[in-house]
Amino acid sequence: MADTLVHADSHAHGHHEVDPGPLRYTMGSATRTTLIGGVVLGIICLVLSFFQDDTIQHTRFWSNWLHNSVFFMGISFMSLFLVAAKVLFYSGWHTVFKRVWEAYAQFLPVAIGLMIPIVIGIFMHFNHLYHWADASALAEDKLLAAKSAFLNPVWYAIAAIVIPAIWYFVFAVRLRALSKDEDKNGSGDFEQHKKMRKTAGIFLPIAAFSSAAVIWQLIMSVDAHWYSTLFAWYATASWLVSAVGLTILLLVFLKIQGYFGQVTTEHLHDLGKYLFAFSIFWSYLWFSQFMLIWYGNVGEETVYFQTRMEQFPFLFWANLAINFVLPFLILMANTTKRKLGILSFVAIMCVFGHWLDFFQMLKPGILETAVHAAHTPGADSHGEDLHMHDAHAAASDDHSDHGEEHAADAHGEAGHHGESKSYAGFMAPGLIEIGTFLGFLSLFFFVALGALSKANLVPANDPYLEESLHHHV
């Protein structure tokens, strides 16, 4: 089989023989030790965030857990989405490295496990991540009460656990099994590939609708009084750019180690075009959401951006600079997408930048909820007099600029206290947040590389393998 692949690739590169490298990935001791060390670092940072948070809610700990769990769940989901989309739409150029996306999708059950403590905490009321989960808030806030048919612990559990479980156990497992079976029993009739196409055709529309529900529940509902019809698209685009960035980084890393010899500059160039194109698409969605809300100038909508621009300016502008300006300026030139050093740098910045994007999606709303919880009679606020206004309730009552002013005042108070020890790690990521991110990233790669080692790196009997081996941009 190795001789066949080398022969095919030699034609693809002007009859120059290319060593495909080992057909199976084996995790080296150095890689294993590094990833385990990263996971340990993440655990240490989570523990520190728990004990250094001097509020009874331990909101910094729970928000870091939620932030990273949702971020890497989305990358895993988008990898599965890419596998299904490529099969359904007769794409072939990616075939030589499609096992990377299959491996990334295997993180979904781990992500489900990570979400279980969040769900239990919402049912048992030992975290304060979502304002709608507070029974006293529901009793006082007409808007939250009106949304409670959807924003409630049961629907949250469905979005956090049941829907991702369907993605994985119904679709990812089957697509992976058919792909591996094609390696062993594939023939000229391409029976496995036809079954994969049918599975993908069922999965994609389900994924499109269900992923929006997941995003609404897990991410958008931290700002429970606010909503945007573009938000699900926006968050999905952020996941997609991150998935492409991690794909580039892993392929470059494995090629350095001698794997994926048939993955050429042509393939990486196309991934660079994906990184560039979807960064622009994300920017288009960012601008569309911002422009429509700015133009409408409705207090209950503008408060979302007003809060982030005035109280979290670093997050707001760094998000735009890293995720739009940087990839736009660097990857616009065709040659930069063919230089592995530059491409890897942009991929690293985009992954971190979109992790920062999810940080600013979640942290401001969670901070406000924490301040509300601390201000609730009987809450242990350690003597801090927060005097938090119920901003969004005011905005929902009169839908006026007066309500928006209350919202700004409330978030201003949150921002003021965010500078204290109680709310460290909310105004901008601290070392604890960076360490937690590296821990989750290490866990993600550990799971993905473990899955990668259980199948041939190059799918031998895929009907589009020859096209992929002869791929030119």
State yes or no: pLDDT of 341 exceeds 60: yes
H or E, element range at 51: helix 29-52
Overall average pLDDT of the 241-257 stretch: 97
Predicted confidence at residue 13, as pLDDT, reads 44
pLDDT digits (tens, 9 = 90+) for 429-446: 999 999 999 999 999 999
State yes or no: pLDDT of 58 exceeds 50: yes
More confident residue, 473 or 101: 101
Predicted confidence at residue 55, as pLDDT, reads 66
CA 87, 89, 90: angle at the middle one, nearest 5? 70
State yes or no: pLDDT of 105 exceeds 60: yes
More confident residue, 369 or 372: 369
**pLDDT bracket for residue 263 (50, 70, 90):** very high
3-state class (DSSP) for residue 332: coil
Q: Are 262 and 5 spatial neighbours (Cβ–Cβ below 8 Å)?
A: yes
More confident residue, 250 or 407: 250
State yes or no: pLDDT of 389 exceeds 60: no
State yes or no: pLDDT of 352 exceeds 90: yes
Predicted confidence at residue 473, as pLDDT, reads 67
Q: Are 314 and 428 spatial neighbours (Cβ–Cβ below 8 Å)?
A: yes
Predicted confidence at residue 87, as pLDDT, reads 96
Averaged pLDDT score across all residues of the chain: 87
Predicted confidence at residue 280, as pLDDT, reads 97
Overall average pLDDT of the 450-471 stretch: 92
Predicted confidence at residue 457, as pLDDT, reads 95
- Hey, what are 295's tokens? 């133009």
- Hey, what are 101's tokens? 């996306």
Predicted confidence at residue 128, as pLDDT, reads 87
Q: How far apart are CA 191 and CA 419, in angstroms?
A: 60
More confident residue, 193 or 3: 193
**Amino acid symbol at 281:** F
**Amino acid symbol at 422:** S
Q: Are 101 and 263 spatial neighbours (Cβ–Cβ below 8 Å)?
A: no
Q: How many residues does the chain have?
A: 473
- Hey, what are 331's tokens? 């990857």
Which residue's structure tokens are 């969670």?
366
**Nearest Cα to Cα of residue 99 among 179, 2, 204, 166:** 179
pTM over 0.85: yes
Q: Chain centroid to CA 368: how far?
A: 23
- Hey, what are 57's tokens? 């809610």
State yes or no: pLDDT of 319 exceeds 70: yes
**Nearest Cα to Cα of residue 131 among 302, 422, 371, 300:** 371
Tell me the CA distances in angstroms from 146 to 222, 301, 355, 403, 427, one per residue in order.
16, 17, 32, 19, 31
Percent composition of the chain: helix, strand, coil (DSSP 3-state, to 5): 75, 0, 25
pLDDT digits (tens, 9 = 90+) for 44-55: 999 999 988 766
Enumerate long-range contacts of 149-156, CB under 8 Å, 24 or more apart: 150/216, 150/217, 151/217, 151/221, 151/224, 153/119, 153/122, 153/123, 155/217, 156/119, 156/122, 156/130, 156/217, 156/218, 156/221
DSSP conformation letters of 101-131: HHHHHTTHHHHHHHHHHHHHHHHHT-----G
Predicted confidence at residue 96, as pLDDT, reads 96
Overall average pLDDT of the 251-277 stretch: 96
pLDDT digits (tens, 9 = 90+) for 186-231: 888 899 999 999 999 999 999 999 999 999 999 999 999 999 999 9
Predicted confidence at residue 372, as pLDDT, reads 77
Predicted confidence at residue 386, as pLDDT, reads 35
Q: How far apart are CA 4 and CA 21, in angstroms?
A: 13
Q: How far apart are CA 178 and CA 278, in angstroms?
A: 29
Predicted confidence at residue 403, as pLDDT, reads 38
Q: How far apart are CA 344 and CA 337, in angstroms?
A: 9
Predicted confidence at residue 422, as pLDDT, reads 52
State yes or no: pLDDT of 411 exceeds 60: no
- Hey, what are 152's tokens? 């409630």
**pLDDT bracket for residue 282 (50, 70, 90):** very high
Overall average pLDDT of the 14-33 stretch: 82
pLDDT above 90: percentage of residues in the chain: 75
Q: How far apart are CA 225 and CA 453, in angstroms?
A: 46
Q: How far apart are CA 168 and CA 392, in angstroms?
A: 37
What are the start-end ranges of the H helices in 339-425? Answer: 340-375, 391-398, 401-418
- Hey, what are 251's tokens? 């392929």
Q: Are 338 and 269 spatial neighbours (Cβ–Cβ below 8 Å)?
A: yes
**pLDDT bracket for residue 139 (50, 70, 90):** confident
User: 130-144, 202-216, 298-312, 371-385 — which is least confidently predicted?
Assistant: 371-385
What letter would DSSP give residue 400? S
